[in-house]
């Protein structure tokens, strides 16, 4: 016999009024859970809309600094900065990734100078800088693992020196977390944390991001399936996460988000680590497009999608809706 039987139990009693619903709610989303991914471009006083992400813009560094200040005022603790590298700086071997004066390094220094209290996260991967759009070095059709890792170590050190607080390797090469950790420590950046994109799937939902950083044209019909994960695999995600933790990841990430909330839950339960999830560009585009057509209530869909991440076990969510959500949560 079940413990819960009608009419002793009427679940609707706890849904009758706003105060009681509020009192028994299991999951509370706050701006402190949000990380805002933003795109930076060259120039001054420039804002460039991204057509496949309506409402998201690339900002020149001066405008990014202002936006970062506003984000802190909304209670957003951290931003993840992605550079839209000019096409003429992209090369087969992605050397610009190691330039301490590159766009992302200048952006990080500028933000940290004016808004030192905001957390700054930087991706480590070569795709913003490679002429072929891949995250690693490409040689005769193969993505080289260990040679890429050597570059990623240097990229991480350059970004840490610019002042970023958290290094987020998003490239999915094997062994990169341990190598980057040792590299950072040897360079005196033992305080810089690593947020590993541990279970990152080869997903169609990254399309608009590749438009935003200008890598989709370069990647053309290529895909990243020799390094990013097969969407059909769940157990493998746990092995990827286990490796990254063993190698020194401070926090782990699952990406994309909404189609992979089962993985978020499994990772959280298996490891109890600070677990992040990325509501990626394609997820943003779906909600924004439907709302733009009047097919969805944007505000409600945004908050529902984000609370679902938290319910699944995510401690933090990278989302292009961070500012909208923080405003909605402040009003609530
Ligand atoms: C690059 C990177 C990607 C994203 C974050 N870092 C794209 C990719 O792997 O092709 C996707 C983010 C998004 O779609 O919002 N390593």
| CATH numbers and ranges of domains, the chain | 28-331 (3.20.20.70)
Contact 197 CB / ligand 1 (< 6 Å): no
Q: List, for residues 65-98, the tens digit of each pLDDT value.
A: 999 999 999 999 999 999 999 999 999 999 999 9
Mean of the per-residue pLDDT values of the chain: 97
Are residues 276 and 316 in contact, defined by beta-carbon separation less than 8 angstroms?
Answer: yes
Helix, strand, coil shares of the chain as percentages rounded to 5? 45, 20, 35
Please state, in angstroms and rounded to a whole number, the distance separating the CA atoms of residues 310 and 299. Answer: 17
Query: Which residues, in sequence order, are CB contacts of 247 under 8 Å at separation 6+?
Result: 175, 177, 178, 181
Contact 206 CB / ligand 1 (< 6 Å): yes
The DSSP call for residue 296 is S
The DSSP call for residue 230 is P
Q: List, for residues 276-317, the tens digit of each pLDDT value.
A: 999 999 999 999 999 999 999 999 999 999 999 999 999 999
Check residue 220 and give its pLDDT. 77
Check residue 4 and give its pLDDT. 87
How far away, in angstroms, is 52 Cα from ligand 1 center?
Answer: 14
255 annotated active-site: yes
Around 82, how many Cα atoms within 13 Å sit in the side-chain half-sphere? 26
Check residue 1 and give its pLDDT. 58
Contact 157 CB / ligand 1 (< 6 Å): no
Contact 283 CB / ligand 1 (< 6 Å): no
Mutate to test the pocket of ligand 1, among 84, 134, 135, 198 (most ligand atoms within 8 A of CB): 135
Choose the catalytic residue: 89, 112, 200, 224. Answer: 200
Q: List, for residues 41-67, the tens digit of each pLDDT value.
A: 999 999 999 999 999 999 999 999 999
> Is it the case that residue 332 has pLDDT exceeding 90?
no
Nearest atom in ligand 1 to the alpha carbon of residue 207 is 14
The total of other beta-carbon atoms located within 10 Å of residue 313's CB is 18
Check residue 106 and give its pLDDT. 98
Give the total residue count for the chain: 332
Choose the catalytic residue: 89, 112, 224, 255. Answer: 255
Over range 154-175, report the average pLDDT: 98
Residue owning the nearest CA to atom 11 of ligand 1 = 206
Looking up tokens 């939902």 gives 205
Threshold 0.95, pTM exceeds? yes
């Amino acid at each position: 016999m079940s413990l819960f039987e009608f009419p002793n139990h009427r679940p609707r009693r706890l849904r009758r009024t706003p105060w009681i619903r509020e009192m028994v709610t299991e999951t509370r989303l706050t701006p402190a859970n949000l990380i805002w991914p933003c795109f930076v471009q060259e120039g001054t006083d420039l804002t460039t809309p991204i057509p496949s992400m309506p409402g998201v813009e690339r900002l020149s560094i001066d405008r990014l600094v202002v936006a970062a200040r506003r984000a802190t005022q909304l209670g957003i603790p951290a931003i993840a900065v992605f550079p839209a590298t000019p096409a003429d700086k992209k090369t087969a071997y992605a050397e610009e990734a190691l330039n301490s004066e590159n766009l992302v390094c200048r952006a990080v220094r500028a933000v940290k100078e004016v808004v030192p209290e905001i957390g700054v996260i930087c991706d480590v991967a070569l795709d913003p800088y490679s002429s072929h759009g891949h995250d690693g070095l490409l040689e005769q059709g193969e993505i080289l693992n260990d040679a890429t890792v050597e570059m990623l170590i240097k990229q991480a050190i350059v970004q840490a020196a610019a002042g970023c607080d958290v290094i987020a390797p998003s490239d999915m090469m094997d062994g990169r977390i341990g190598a980057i950790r040792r590299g950072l420590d040897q360079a005196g950046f033992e305080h810089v944390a690593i947020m590993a994109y541990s279970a990152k799937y080869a997903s169609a939902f990254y399309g608009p991001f590749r438009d935003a950083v200008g890598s989709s044209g370069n990647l053309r019909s290529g895909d990243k399936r020799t390094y990013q994960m097969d969407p059909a695999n769940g157990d493998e995600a746990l092995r990827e996460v286990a490796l990254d933790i063993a190698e020194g990841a401070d926090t782990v990430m699952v990406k994309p988000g909404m189609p992979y909330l089962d993985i978020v839950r499994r990772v959280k339960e298996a490891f109890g680590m600070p677990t992040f999830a990325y509501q990626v560009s394609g997820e943003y585009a779906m909600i924004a497009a439907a709302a733009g057509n009047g097919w969805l209530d944007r505000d409600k869909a945004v908050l529902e999608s984000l609370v679902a991440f938290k319910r699944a076990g995510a401690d933090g969510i990278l989302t292009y809706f961070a500012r909208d959500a923080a405003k909605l949560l402040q009003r609530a």
